[in-house]
Amino acid sequence: MPKAWFIALGVALVLASIGAYCIYHVVMTGIGAWGNNNSVGWAWDITNFVWWIGIGHAGTLISAILYLMRQQWRTSINRAAEAMTIFAVMCAGIFPIIHTGRPWLAWWMIPHPNDMQMWPQFRSPLMWDVFAISTYATTSILFWYMGLVPDLATFRDRSKTKLKQAIYGVLALGWRGSARQWHRYERAYLILAALSTPLVLSVHSVVSFDFATSLNPGWHTTIFPPYFVAGAIFSGFAMVMTLMIPARYLFGLKHIIKAEHIEAMCKVTLATGMMVGFAYSVEFFIAWYSGSEYEQFTFINRSTGPFWWSWLSMVTCNVIVPQFFWFKKCRTNPWIIIVLCLLINVGMWFERFVIIATSLSRQFLPSSWSYYWPTKYDVGVFIGTMGLFLTLFLLFIRFLPAVAISEVKNTLPEAHAGKDH
C-alpha cells in the first residue's frame, strides 16, 4: 500500500505544482492570460468554481442529511466524504478569488471599517456568495473536526511514540469518552447535522443566484436553485465513488465500505441524474412556453449552435450514462462504476460550461457575439486544483482516521445492548 500511496502522492504533487505555476503566471500578468474575452467574461474559472462546490455538496449530504434520515450505511463513508467537501470547497474558492483580477485585494469583500469608507454592496449575489461559501467552509470544517475528536483520542491512546501521542493528544482536546460528554456531543452532532442540511441547500442556491438574478437569456430562470442542488448531489456522489472505490481496495476497507453501500450510492446517483435530466427538459419547455424569442434562441443555440459538442457531452454523460445504474450488474462491478462515475463528473463539468459559455457568447447584441477557447493557463489552473485536491485527500487518508471509528462502533449490535428492548 505505501508504495502505491507514494506514487499517487507524487503524481498529485506534480499536478499541484503545475497549477501553482499557472496561478503564479495568471496573478502576475492578469487574467488576460486566460481565454476569457469581452463577451465570455465568465468561462473555465466560474465553471470550475461551480463544479468543485457541487462536488463538495455530496459530503454534506452524506454526513448531515443521511444522518438525519438514520441511514446507518453512511458511517462507512461519511468521514472521507466530509474531507472531500472541505478539500473541494478549498479548490472552488481559488477560482473566484483569482477571477477578481487582483486577488490581493480580495479582503475588501469582508465588511470592515477602512480609509476609503467603502462598504460591500449586499444586494449583489456575489456578496451572497462570499457569505454562503465562507459559512459553508467554516461549518464543514467544524463538523468534520468534531467528528474526528473521539477518533483522534483513539489514535492518541494507540500511538507508540511520544511525538505522535503529543500531536494526537492536543488534537483530541483531552477527549475521554465520558457519558456526560457523549451526551452533549451527540446533541451537538445532531444540531450540526440539522444546521448543515438547510445550509447545503442554500449554498448551491446562492451559487445559482449568481446566474439567475441576471437578465441574460439562459440564466434568468427560477428553476436554477433546485436544479443546481440536484446537479451538485449528482456530481458529488459520483466523486465520492470515484475516490472510495479505489480506497477500499488500497486500504483494505472492503469489510467496512461494503458492496451494498456502493450500490446505495449508485441508486442515489441514478435518482439525482434523473432529476438533472428532468431539469434539462423543463428548461427547454419553459423556453418554448415563455414565448420569448431570446430564450428560445438561447436553447436552440445551445444544442445546435457553435457549442453543440459541449451540449451533446452534457446530455450524454448526465442523462444517458446514469441509466446504466438501473442494472444490478452495473451497480456491483467496480470497473463499470468507476467509468460511469468519471463520465458523470465530465458531464457535470460540461453542464456548467454549457450554461456559462453558450449563454455569454450569444447575448442580446449580435455585434458582441464571440466564441470561447481556453488557453493553457485555464487548463493548468484546473489541473492544479485537481492535484491540490488529491494531495490533501491522500494526506488525509494516511494521517487521519478515514473511517469514523466511533460511529462505526456505534452501529454495531453491541452498542445497543444497554437498551432493555
Partner 1 sequence: METNENNDHDEATSAHAGETSPATGSTSGHDGARASSNSDEGELYGVLAEFDSPGALVKAARKVKDAGYGDFDCYSPFPVHGIDEAMGIKRTILPVLVFCGGITGTFLGFLLQWYCNASAWQWNVAGKPVWSIPANVPIGFETTILLSVFTTFFGMWILNKLPQVWHPFFRLDRFTKVTDDGFMLGIEAKDGRFDAVETKKLLESAGAIAVEECYLDASPANTKMPMFIYGVIICTTALALVPFALVYKARASHSKDPHYHIFGDMDFQAKVKSDQYNDLFADGRSNRGEISGTIPRGWLNDDTSYAQGLENGAWITSFPTSVEVSRDLLRRGKQRYEIYCSPCHGVDGRGAGMVAVRSQKIGQGILPRNLVDPGAGVITQPNGQLFNTISNGNNTMMGYGAQIPVADRWAIVAYVRALERSQFAAGTDLTDAERSAAMGATP
Q: Which of residues 19-38 bind partner 1 (CB under 8 A)?
A: 28-30
**Smaller CB distance to partner 1: residue 105 or 365?**
105
Question: What sign results for the dihedral spanned by CA atoms 340, 345, 348, 349?
Answer: negative
Question: What is the rounded CA–CA span in Å between residue 105 and residue 120?
Answer: 13
Q: How far is the CB of 320 from partner 1 (least distance, A)?
A: 35
How many residues make contact with partner 1 (CB under 8 A)? Answer: 78
The only residue of 88, 315, 356, 403 in contact with partner 1, by rule CB under 8 A: 403
Amino acid at 202: S
| Residue 4: CB minimum distance to partner 1, A | 12
Q: Considering the complex, what minimum distance in angstroms separates the CB of residue 227 from partner 1?
A: 18
- Residue 312 or 415: the one with the smaller Cβ distance to partner 1 is 415
Q: C-beta of 306: minimal distance to partner 1 in Å? A: 33
Cβ atoms within 10 Å of 88's Cβ, excluding its own: 26
CA distance 134 to 85: 13
Binding mask 124-153 for partner 1 (x = CB under 8 A): -x-xx--xx--x--xx--xx--x---x--x
Scanning residues 87 to 126, which ones bind partner 1 (CB under 8 A)? 104, 111, 117-123, 125
Q: DSSP of 182-203, one letter per residue?
A: HHHHHHHHHHHHHHHHHHHHHH
Q: What CA–CA distance (Å, rounded) separates 45 from 382?
A: 8
DSSP annotation of 105 reads G
- The grid coordinates listed for 229 are 442542488
Span near partner 1 by CB under 8 A; candidates 50-58, 88-96, 281-289, 401-409 = 401-409
Angle at 66 between CA 275 and CA 175, to 5 degrees: 150
Min dist. Cβ of residue 263 to partner 1 (A): 22
Alpha carbons 330 and 322: distance in angstroms, whole number: 10
Measured from the CB atom, the residue of 10 and 174 that comes closer to partner 1 is 174
Stretch that binds partner 1, among 9-17, 78-86, 285-293, 407-415 (CB under 8 A): 407-415
The residue (of 139 and 385) whose beta carbon lies closer to partner 1 is: 139
Contact string (CB under 8 A) for partner 1, positions 45-84, x = contact: ----------------------------------------
Alpha carbon of residue 154 to chain centroid? 29
Least Å from the CB of residue 291 to partner 1: 26
Q: Shortest Cβ distance from residue 113 to partner 1 (Å)?
A: 9
The residue (of 182 and 297) whose beta carbon lies closer to partner 1 is 182
* Contact call for residues 167 and 180 (beta carbons, < 8 A): no
Of residues 236, 233, 150, 135, the one with CA closest to residue 189: 150
Q: How far apart are CA 150 and CA 160, in angstroms?
A: 18
Backbone Cα Rg of the chain:
23
Distance CA 48, CA 92 (A): 7
Q: Which of 157, 271, 324, 369 binds partner 1 (CB under 8 A)?
A: 157
The interface with partner 1 within residues 170-229 (CB under 8 A) comprises 170, 172-188, 191-192, 195, 198-199, 202, 206, 209
Nearer to partner 1, 10 or 111 (CB): 111
CA distance 335 to 327: 14
The three grid cell numbers given for residue 11, joined into one nine-digit string: 503524481
Which is nearer to partner 1, 14 or 191 (by Cβ)?
191
Cβ–Cβ under 8 Å, residues 361 and 264:
no
Quote the CA–CA distance of 349 and 314 in Å, as a whole number. 8
C-beta of 6 vs 288, nearer to partner 1: 6
Q: Which of residues 325-354 bind partner 1 (CB under 8 A)?
A: none
The residue (of 38 and 121) whose beta carbon lies closer to partner 1 is 121
Q: CB of residue 246 vs partner 1: minimum separation in angstroms? A: 15
Handedness of CA 30, 36, 37, 42 (dihedral sign): negative
Give, in degrees to the nearest 5, the angle at Cα 187 between 185 and 189: 70
Query: 185 vs 234, which CB is nearer to partner 1?
Result: 185
- Residue 260 CB, nearest approach to partner 1 (Å): 19
Site for partner 1 in 245-304 (CB under 8 A): 251-253, 255-256
